[in-house]
Chains A and B, each alone.
Chain A
Amino acid sequence: MAKRTAPEINAGSMADIAFLLLIFFLVTTTMDIDTGITRKLPPPIDNPDENIDVKDRNVLKILVNSHDMLLVDGKPGSISTLKDKVIDFMGIHPNNDKYPEIKEVEVEELGGKIILASKGVVSLKNDRGTSYDMYIRVQNELARAFNEMKDDASVQYYGVKYTQLVDEAKSKVINKLVPVRVSEAEPENIGGGN
């Protein structure tokens, strides 16, 4: 008897089936990338009474109250001028009592060059009644200020903006020169909001 060959399977509808599956995955896919402002929380303190002394002139105090109003360094401020204020505060002003102290940093990566750095710290304090929207806007302005300073430093030493630095070692140097020094105070309830 002659060998019977199995009849060929009609694969004409294969494309249709694949299309159906494809469309299902196309519809269910979410391509959105999560973005946000990354921050590092300070580690928990063992002894709450122990306060680290920071000289008054080294701290830029930013307070946000429950009505979303800003107090920058004791004076009412606005969100539009906050960035420039932070940059001005963190800048190098030799022999000026109103600005933070200056320290000398030796950077090995730049051939042992000595660079002046500010000892300034930005202290952010918000009320329980502050809206999250306002808080993010303040955080964003602070991030903008520090990013701008990083860009400036990067252009000065490497000739390109911070975001365009490819070499990770170079980014590290810039991060060392311009550390993001934002401290968040322990929470307090003053405005009565919840």
Chain B
Amino acid sequence: MSRFKSKKGKDSPAINTSSLPDIIFMLLFFFMVTTVMREVTVMVKQNMPSASEVQKLERKSLVSFIYIGTPKESKLGTNARIQLNDVFANIEDVPLFVAREREARDEADRKLITTSLKVDGETKMGVVTDVKQELRKSNALKINYSTKKVKAGDLK
């Protein structure tokens, strides 16, 4: 009789895990809310140059992206190409792209749209200049040259 008693006294009480799912759900919701699913598959090389004086792109919903670089698939050639949304495009398609991006936003937000140029470091400026000229013509004047952030001393 006494043997049983002493054993029962040693047992530590089980931890109540009934609130564990709630904690996990909280974490889950946090990640669900902060997640931005990638909308486009980038088909061009993207090795961005580095810069020290960078600013953060705020309000991602007001940013439209233009990707420029040589195609990842080598059979598509080595010339720099422009990618708008999910397709390769020509320079003439840029104004239509800008117009569509404007259409997709609220009227009040339209003049706040920033165009982020995601350009590969090895690209020649010719293509970039063409794109910039088209953007000027379509009055999309706020642009952002996408770069990696490094400290000023680390720039070579």
Question: Chain A interface (Cβ within 8 Å of chain B)?
Answer: 11, 14-15, 18-19, 21-22, 25-26, 28-31, 33-44, 66, 126-133, 135-137, 139-140, 143-144, 147, 187, 189, 193-194
Smallest beta-carbon distance B15→chain A, Å: 13
If A41-B136, A193-B126 touch, whether A136 touches B35 (CB-CB below 8 Å) is no
Which of B35, B128, B145, B148 is within 8 Å of A39, CB to CB?
B145
- Contact in complex: A132, B144 (CB < 8 Å): no
How far is A139 from B53 in the complex, measured between Cα atoms in Å? 9
- Contact in complex: A194, B60 (CB < 8 Å): no
Query: Can you pick out 24 interface pairs between chain A and chain B where the beta carbons lie within 8 Å of each other?
Result: A11-B18, A18-B24, A26-B31, A29-B34, A34-B146, A35-B55, A36-B57, A36-B145, A37-B145, A42-B141, A66-B124, A126-B125, A128-B129, A131-B123, A131-B124, A131-B125, A132-B125, A133-B122, A135-B128, A136-B121, A137-B49, A137-B51, A140-B51, A140-B147
A-B interface, 10 closest residue pairs, ranked by CB to CB distance from nearest: A128-B126, A143-B53, A25-B31, A18-B24, A133-B121, A140-B51, A14-B21, A35-B54, A34-B57, A36-B146
Residue of A nearest to B53 (CB): A143
How far is A36 from B37 in the complex, measured between Cα atoms in Å? 21
Q: Does chain A have a CB within 8 A of B155?
A: yes
Question: Chain B interface (Cβ within 8 Å of chain A)?
Answer: 17-18, 20-21, 24-25, 27-28, 31-32, 34-38, 49, 51-57, 60, 63, 114, 116, 119-126, 128-129, 132-133, 135-137, 139-149, 152, 155
Which of A40, A129, A130, A139 is within 8 Å of B51, CB to CB?
A139
How far is A194 from B120 in the complex, measured between Cα atoms in Å? 15
- Contact in complex: B121, A132 (CB < 8 Å): yes
A43 surroundings in chain B (CB, below 8 A): 136, 139, 141
How far is A143 from B51 in the complex, measured between Cα atoms in Å? 10
Which of B36, B51, B141, B155 is within 8 Å of A37, CB to CB?
B51
7 extra A-B contacts, CB within 8 A, seeds A18-B28, A19-B24, A34-B146 = A22-B28, A35-B57, A35-B148, A132-B120, A132-B123, A132-B125, A144-B152
- Contact in complex: A15, B31 (CB < 8 Å): no
How far is A31 from B33 in the complex, measured between Cα atoms in Å? 12
A126 surroundings in chain B (CB, below 8 A): 125, 129
B128 surroundings in chain A (CB, below 8 A): 132, 135
A140 surroundings in chain B (CB, below 8 A): 51-53, 147, 155
- Contact in complex: A132, B35 (CB < 8 Å): no
Smallest beta-carbon distance B115→chain A, Å: 9
B31 surroundings in chain A (CB, below 8 A): 22, 25-26, 29
A128 surroundings in chain B (CB, below 8 A): 124-126, 129
